[in-house]
Chain A
Amino acid sequence: MRRLLLWIGISVFGAFGFGSMALHRGEQINALWLVIAALCTYAVGYRFYSKFVAAKVLALEAKRATPAERLEDGRDFVPTNKWVVFGHHFAAIAGPGPLVGPVLAAQFGYLPGTLWILVGSVFGGCVQDFVILLFSVRRDGKSLTEMAKQEIGHVAGLVAYASVIAILVILLAVCALVVVNALKQSPWGTFTIAMTIPIAFLMGVYLRRLRPGRVVETSALGFILVLAAIWGGQWVSLHPAVGNYFTLGAPGLAMAIILYGFAASALPVWLLLAPRDYLSTFVKLGTIGLLAFGIVLMHPTLRMPGFTKFIDGTGPVFAGKVFPFAFITIACGAISGFHSLISSGTTPKLIRRETDARMVGYGAMLCESMVAIMATVAACVLEPGTYFAINSPAGVAGAVPEKAATTISSWGFPVTAEAMHRLAQNVGEITLFNRTGGAPAFAVGMAHIFSGSLGGQTLMALWYHFALMFEALFILTVLDAGTRVGRFMLQDALGHVWKPMGRTGWYPSALATSAIVVAAWGYFLWQGVRDPLGGINSLWPLFGISNQLLAAVALCVATTIIIKKHRARYALVTLAPLVWLVGVTFTASWHKIFDPDPRIGFLAQAQQIAAAGGNARLVFNNRLDAVVSAILVVMVSLLLIESMRQWMAALSGRKPSSTTETPFVVSRLAEERG
């Protein structure tokens, strides 16, 4: 009875939070209402919905031995405490996506993004991560592409593989573009990020030569050095000669990042990639905790309204209506196909008991969703005029500060060039106009929250650069790990054509495949840098579409397995988010390809540029983006058709519905526990 009352209380409190969020029109609300609505939703979702999925849909069995137990080898398969796996899994899934997407989607107001993050995660993202994790556990830790091939067919396996490659290339390009936009004309930020490379080298040498294996200690030392670099950055930026070296435009930064990506993929892992990975994880976990603390302590007021007029599709940050664009702009934080790769990668090989999969798969995604809510708060605590001044590209708002301020004020969000200049000075930047990509707006919001709770206005510039460093650091970690993973996938594929190319340690192969992968994402990055609308307008939706289509692939695999397991009556658990995602991504793709508005449709933009006698390369790039979108949609359509054939065959009984699940073996660990 007491428990029942407790859950009724949580539900009522959450409903009150939703009511405060949704029903206050024309009034500013406190950010804590978002946090309360989110925490109550997560609590109810975890307690009831995930329990239903665990018991009815997946029928988790605590006494069934997991591959970590059966195949224990101390290397890949290791039975691990559920909290440890949870932390490990969360550290792998939480990247820059849940920070950047919600900041961009804030152009619609705080409400659409927040509702999508909460509903999308509880019924979509968490379910996807949970079911894929469990199905991988029951298949000896098989990857998503292997499961697609075995459960649906060869076409599905091929589509899943191609989707992974496509998303990887677009993801890396868009990540690099976010960093370029965050660091352009920012000597302080560029210096800080540049310093993380020698710091990583030092950490690598320290770890290998002086204190082998002491990673936590080394990461802590690296973190202290990074803080010193942030502190020192202000002097560097003020020095006329040295500051000049670090004041780079977008093309210069793009070239530097392309070269860095190549070096990180080709250099030994211990020297650059591994220490940077450790350093970024250290900073990431600490900063997310710090941000949560800052929001609760400061409980700032949201300046952004619940809805803005840009839900009609005329937004300056990216063009397109709230449906479908809000739902592809926020992928990580609500539902992200990329997570299915982690859920069918390292994590299933660490799960000690099947029942742990609920907390690890469903629970870790809830935490990522909370990170997305915090990013929404960071963007929405800014004055809307400031938010739009930072996030609107020069091609939309104007390149001159006075002109941009007048344009943005004419949208109903007052801002002045003087106020923006003061803000830029406060955070140690030359300008904050046209800093598209989401990262600078997030950094200003985070600095606003931190400086209100820790250190006051005098530390605002340091907090801003700390936030910028935090984002850029782990975006670059995604970049170098992603390039290397792409290189391995390519080497694996080319190895079937010519054996030596498949040897990861053979230097000519490593160099050639690194160059191909870097060239692929570098091309899209360069395209984004040259785009008159700032690049984010084209690349972020493309990234969102490919990520959500990968989620559709994962949900197709999950639905097929559920139906084959004679649990078709519960198939809606994965089928409903699948139908939603297909609807959203196909609609978004249609708009991105064929919409007559040149700010939305790639083909319309190509036609406009061609008609004006513009750059032929820009025309080609837009047509290429249209082709990429179309290929993604065709691939997923093929997979859907293949899956539906499997479903019909299984439901009609025409074909014996066999799955590749490993047979039940009693867990020794469970017996020991009694």
Chain B
Amino acid sequence: MKALRVLHAILREIFEESAYERFCMREGVLRGRESYAAFLRQRRVRVKCC
């Protein structure tokens, strides 16, 4: 069960769901189109390795 929770947390971090949640908390906004658009605007492009 713990392993599944960790796996879920890993996926949420990789797919930036956690980052979006942190963004909403930091900015004091609710989840929604506007806040997600604002989140995407400040999102940095991550370097991908070869």
Nearest residue in B to A210 (C-beta to C-beta)?
B33
Q: Check: A259 CB closer than 8 A to any chain B CB.
A: no
Size of interface on A: residues with Cβ below 8 Å to B: 58
Question: Cβ of A482 and Cβ of B48 under 8 Å apart?
Answer: yes
Q: Check: A92 CB closer than 8 A to any chain B CB.
A: yes
Q: A78-B22, A208-B36, A213-B17 are in contact. Are A84 and B9 (CB under 8 A)?
A: yes
- B10-38 vs A: 1/0 string, CB under 8 Å? 11111111011111011000011101110
Question: Cβ of B45 and Cβ of A339 under 8 Å apart?
Answer: no
Question: Cβ of B48 and Cβ of A92 under 8 Å apart?
Answer: yes
Q: Check: A93 CB closer than 8 A to any chain B CB.
A: yes
Question: Cβ of B17 and Cβ of A92 under 8 Å apart?
Answer: no
Q: Check: A18 CB closer than 8 A to any chain B CB.
A: no
In the bound complex, CA of A93 to CA of B43 (Å): 19
Least CB distance from A584 to B in Å reads 18
- Which residues of B lie under 8 Å from residue A212 when comparing CB positions? 31-33, 35-37
Q: Check: A255 CB closer than 8 A to any chain B CB.
A: no
Question: Cβ of A84 and Cβ of B50 under 8 Å apart?
Answer: no
In the bound complex, CA of A212 to CA of B32 (Å): 6
Question: Cβ of A484 and Cβ of B45 under 8 Å apart?
Answer: yes
Nearest residue in A to B25 (C-beta to C-beta)?
A74
Least CB distance from B22 to A in Å reads 4
Least CB distance from B3 to A in Å reads 9
Question: Cβ of A208 and Cβ of B40 under 8 Å apart?
Answer: yes
- A162-201 vs B: 1/0 string, CB under 8 Å? 0000000001000100000000000000000000000000
Q: Check: B1 CB closer than 8 A to any chain A CB.
A: no
Q: A207-B36, A208-B36, A269-B45 are in contact. Are A216 and B50 (CB under 8 A)?
A: no
Find A281's partner among B15, B22, B25, B35 (CB 8 Å cutoff): B15
Stretch at the interface among A35-43, A271-279, A602-610: A271-279
Q: Check: A91 CB closer than 8 A to any chain B CB.
A: yes
Q: Check: A481 CB closer than 8 A to any chain B CB.
A: yes
Q: Check: A87 CB closer than 8 A to any chain B CB.
A: yes
Least CB distance from A397 to B in Å reads 27
Q: A91-B14, A212-B32 are in contact. Are A74 and B22 (CB under 8 A)?
A: yes
Least CB distance from B20 to A in Å reads 4
Question: Cβ of B9 and Cβ of A83 under 8 Å apart?
Answer: yes
Least CB distance from A133 to B in Å reads 14
Question: Cβ of B43 and Cβ of A274 under 8 Å apart?
Answer: yes
Question: Cβ of B10 and Cβ of A96 under 8 Å apart?
Answer: no
Find B23's partner among A74, A346, A477, A481 (CB 8 Å cutoff): A74
In the A-B complex, the 7 residue pairs with the smallest Cβ-Cβ separation, listed nearest first, are A212-B36, A87-B10, A215-B15, A97-B50, A74-B26, A213-B20, A270-B40
13 more A-B contacts (CB under 8 A) besides A84-B13, A207-B36, A345-B46? A74-B25, A80-B13, A83-B10, A88-B13, A209-B33, A213-B21, A213-B39, A214-B17, A269-B40, A274-B40, A341-B47, A478-B50, A488-B45
Return 14 A-B CB contacts under 8 Å, by A number. Answer: A73-B26, A74-B23, A75-B19, A75-B26, A78-B22, A84-B13, A85-B13, A86-B10, A94-B49, A171-B50, A336-B50, A342-B49, A345-B46, A484-B45
Chain A residues in the interface with B (C-beta under 8 A):
73-75, 78, 80-81, 83-88, 91-97, 171, 175, 207-209, 212-216, 219, 269-270, 273-274, 277-278, 281-282, 285, 331-332, 336, 338-339, 341-342, 345-346, 474, 477-478, 481-482, 484-485, 488, 543, 547
